[in-house]
Structure 1
Amino acid sequence: MRGVGGPLLCIGDLLSDVADDDGGGDGGVHESLPPPSPTAVPPVPLPPSDLHQLFQENYDWLIESLSGTDHSWTDLTLKLCAALKTADKLVSSANSNIGVLLEKVAVLESIIKRGDSAVAKAKDIQNMQTNKEASFTTSLDDNDVGSGQKKK
């Protein structure tokens, strides 16, 4: 429900207007940014490290304009909303990337476990062969000693 008139609108009205500007109709979930004003610079994709700086600058400008008497706070609020939407998309992208990375880590862990298992089996085989050779050598030594005693 929309708030009632006056120069000071509630945030719900502002966000609703932003949603209407997006050309919505999908229940309030919007993926596109609000259309830029003629004086606005087109949004440039920013690396994640710059996102905090962008948000902080827009937030500082908004607070400054709200404390003054001019009406630039509406444009700055729209910029802040755009920065928040960008942050939301960045978080969603990071979450999906984390999911993919977790799957790849699970695959790597299974490969490492198979490798460890193969190494353990190879060591067991080597130990069995060493034991067989040792017992074969011991039995040959016993036969040599026994046959040597018979010759005397």
Structure 2
Amino acid sequence: MRGVGGPLLCIGDLLNDVGKSDAGCDQLPSHPINTPSPDYNSSLQPSDLNKLFQEKYEQLNMALAGTDHSWTHLTLELCTALETANKLVHSTNSNVGMLKDKVEELCEVINRRDATIEAAKAFEGSPKQPESS
């Protein structure tokens, strides 16, 4: 059942709306997402993402257990952390694809090198033809 409208909707309505808006999006937006908090910056490392998500999740749970309305802001921060994780996954997938291509190229070079070495050994070990004078 949907909550009653007004300036502050229930958390179920917010999550429902977020789910609907993300359902049709298979690609990342072409414009940067404005973050609701100054906590996020471009120096965020992938290793910090799990810690950041956990902190925001715990803060959101505490706010939902309380009586204040800070959960709205915390929900936006948590969503931003999830969007950042999604961008990281997409970036990692594309980087893995490029790395795979480079490894395949390197394997081809190594195979050509090995074939050349074998040909040189075979040529060196073959009986020498007498010179005709």
What range describes the TM-score normalised by the shorter chain of this pair?
A: 0.7 to 0.9
**What do the CA deviations read for 1:102-138 (whole angstroms, capped 9, x no partner)?**
0000000000000000000000001104xx38xx7xx
Paired residues of 2:56 and 2:74 also in contact (CA < 8 A): yes
- Secondary structure of 1:44's counterpart equals coil
> Match of 2:120, as an amino acid?
A
Counterpart CA distance in 2 for 1:68 and 1:12 is 22
| Unaligned residue ranges in structure 2 (runs of 5+) | none
Cα distance change of structure 1 residues 120 and 35 upon mapping to structure 2, 3 Å threshold? closer
Shift, 1:92, TM fit: 0.3
Separation in 2, partners of 1:3, 1:30: 29
TM-score scaled by length of structure 1 = 0.68
Residue 27 (structure 2) pairs with residue 33 (structure 1): no
Q: 2:10 aligns with which of 8, 33, 36?
A: 8
Q: Distance in 2 between matches of 1:30 and 1:123?
A: 54
1:106 aligned partner: 104
Structure index of larger Rg = 1
* Contact map agreement 1:3 1:9 (CA 8 A) in 2: no
In the TM superposition, residue 70 of structure 1 has moved relative to its aligned partner by 1.2
Detail structure 1 runs of 4+ shifted over 4 Å in the superposition. 27-30
Query: Displacement, 1:68?
Result: 1.2
Q: Which has the higher contact order (CA 8 A, sep 6+)?
A: 2
**1:148 alignment counterpart:** none
Q: Write out aligned runs for 1:1-150 (5 A).
A: 3-5=2-4, 7-10=9-12, 11-13=15-17, 15=18, 27-28=24-25, 31=29, 32-34=32-34, 36=36, 40-41=37-38, 43-45=40-42, 46-129=44-127, 132=128
Matching residue's letter, 1:121:
A
Runs (5+) with no aligned partner, structure 1: 20-26, 137-152
**Aligned equivalent of 1:147:** none
Q: Secondary structure at the match of 1:71?
A: coil
Deviation per CA, 1:69-124: give whole Å up to 9, x if none: 11111110100000000000001000000000000000000000000000000000
1:33 and 1:16, CA in 2 relative to 1: closer, same or farther beyond 3 A? farther
In the alignment, the residues of structure 2 paired with residue 100 and residue 80 of structure 1 have an alpha-carbon distance, to the nearest angstrom, of 30
Higher helix share: 1
- Cα displacement (A) at 1:30: 5.7
Report if aligned partners of 1:62, 1:76 keep a CA contact under 8 Å in 2. Answer: yes
